[in-house]
Chain A
């Protein structure tokens, strides 16, 4: 499958810090059709200024792999936003930081489904590592620790 996603105006928009009431950020979420925690995460994104187009897919792991998500970081959904890939329950501030700073990476991912993360709810009991990954075969690097 060749997934094409427009870089749109994000390159430009991201050059300036996003104001508190930014324009809606369009995102596409590929998710397992039977998983409801992804929908909770989509709602969380929508509450934070994103407009999420949900695309259920039965071969999510292939879609995610095609987007460049390393297998060991794969979550139950992959979000394409502003030319980047966001996998798993990454907090929204980190997504906005990435979109603003426009780093030379493919995307960011949080492995596993830790308690307290957006989408899972509950209490946060451990620190989370969010990884940056690229499509050049290099090992993911820690993008942020929350």
Chain B
């Protein structure tokens, strides 16, 4: 495998994989008996990013595959998931975006003891919200995610949504060496203090993407999940008009994304509905143009030559039923603010903060490159992390997040979904709730949530390098 990203992508012609079919298979629900019991074994394995005929890459897996098996759960029905650790180091599993009891949140030291090598831990929770979520380790996060540990978690709506197909793209970004292995050098200072470990090969559901085969006239629900360590994405579906129906698993008012670009930072999910109105036999690129000068074709939508499934698009509404999120009481909200600081300075943008600095390093010890409100919590979580603020149970928190850095940060809150109120003073439309809110450099985001779930909860940047290097904090709900 070549590790030059563009070169790899340009060879995609070799890698004809019926992505749609592969996805349907991986999503097939594994119906359990009366008690919904699941088993996940964490351990080393091999991945075939370029299909069965390509080189194999040594990875860490959930149940032997990258990504891990798609967990399909039912809204409001309890599940027990036993995780067995076959690695040589501690791990945990964080059920990203699921509102669950604090002890099931998977943060080592903070919410549970880490799962030792050879040990196991049983997670028990009842997902209150239907939608697109994912799971990943919260121990040695940069390395464990970067070596492959991530999987999709779908919570099905109680009443099925009317679409012809329900597909998932779990997007992962790998930094591979010339011989197709995962490059070492995790946690280098340049990565940590700049944009994180962005890689050179992107996979969809564990393979370098080929075509998404579709049929004219069909309606597809496509669940997009960015499980990358650091790569931001902005996807455009040429000649199509995707409608966003959910962000981070939470249904929103259906809308077309701004400029037709679906921005997906690490850990974000966006569900879109695509009415396939192209001509039979036509092909259309899906382009990721997030980074200036580095746009590339991620995949192609390829229509089969058959006649359209139906003459007109489905007229069923595309909106999803709302989840039972508690409504914030803004009039009586408690205000809190977190300020993101540090990182490599871009061209002297921080003149107001003590002039030109090579690294804005509040807390240079311990390899910290970032801070929240002047404090750098590094690593993955540990015992005795002092909460940045505490909230009374049931209180509404009006949270301001202020990015004073020159870099992008997807800020993830554990245990809650945030009602996103405004960005840089402008109201955020479409009644969006998110657990991972992307802040552009200098952005100020206002959001709100009801502190209805007791415990010490993490709030951190989901660029894994940034989290490890200090862009993390904890708050308490009493």
- Residue of B4, B175, B294, B347 with most partner-chain A CB within 10 A: B347
Would you mind naming 25 contact pairs between A and B with Cβ atoms under 8 Å apart?
Answer: A1-B4, A33-B195, A34-B406, A35-B194, A36-B347, A36-B349, A37-B345, A37-B347, A37-B348, A39-B347, A54-B293, A56-B292, A58-B199, A58-B231, A61-B185, A61-B190, A62-B183, A65-B185, A76-B190, A76-B344, A113-B344, A115-B357, A120-B348, A121-B348, A122-B356
A1 and B294 within 8 A (CB) = no
A74 and B190 within 8 A (CB) = yes
Binding site for B on A (CB under 8 A): 1, 32-37, 39-40, 54-62, 65, 71, 74-76, 112-115, 120-122
Number of A-B contacts (CB under 8 A): 89
B356 and A56 within 8 A (CB) = no
B346 and A33 within 8 A (CB) = no
**Would A36 and B292 be within 8 Å (CB), given that A59-B200, A61-B190, A76-B190 are in contact?**
no
B407 is an interface residue with CB less than 8 A from chain A:
yes
The main secondary structure of chain B at its interface with chain A is: loop
B475 is an interface residue with CB less than 8 A from chain A:
no
Given contacts A57-B294, A120-B356, A121-B356, 12 further A-B contacts (CB under 8 A): A1-B3, A32-B194, A35-B194, A37-B348, A58-B199, A59-B199, A59-B200, A74-B188, A76-B344, A113-B358, A115-B355, A122-B356
Query: Cβ of A113: which chain B residues have Cβ within 8 Å of it?
Result: 344, 358-359
- Give the nearest-CB partner of B188 in chain A: A61
Per-position 1/0 for B361-399, Cβ under 8 A of A: 000000000000000000000000000000000000000
- Give the nearest-CB partner of A64 in chain B: B190
B191 is an interface residue with CB less than 8 A from chain A:
yes
B195 and A40 within 8 A (CB) = no
- Give the nearest-CB partner of A37 in chain B: B347
A1 and B178 within 8 A (CB) = yes
Report A135 CB to chain B, min CB distance, Å. 16
B194 and A76 within 8 A (CB) = yes
- Give the nearest-CB partner of B2 in chain A: A1
A34 and B195 within 8 A (CB) = yes
B408 is an interface residue with CB less than 8 A from chain A:
yes
**Would A62 and B347 be within 8 Å (CB), given that A56-B293, A115-B357, A115-B358 are in contact?**
no
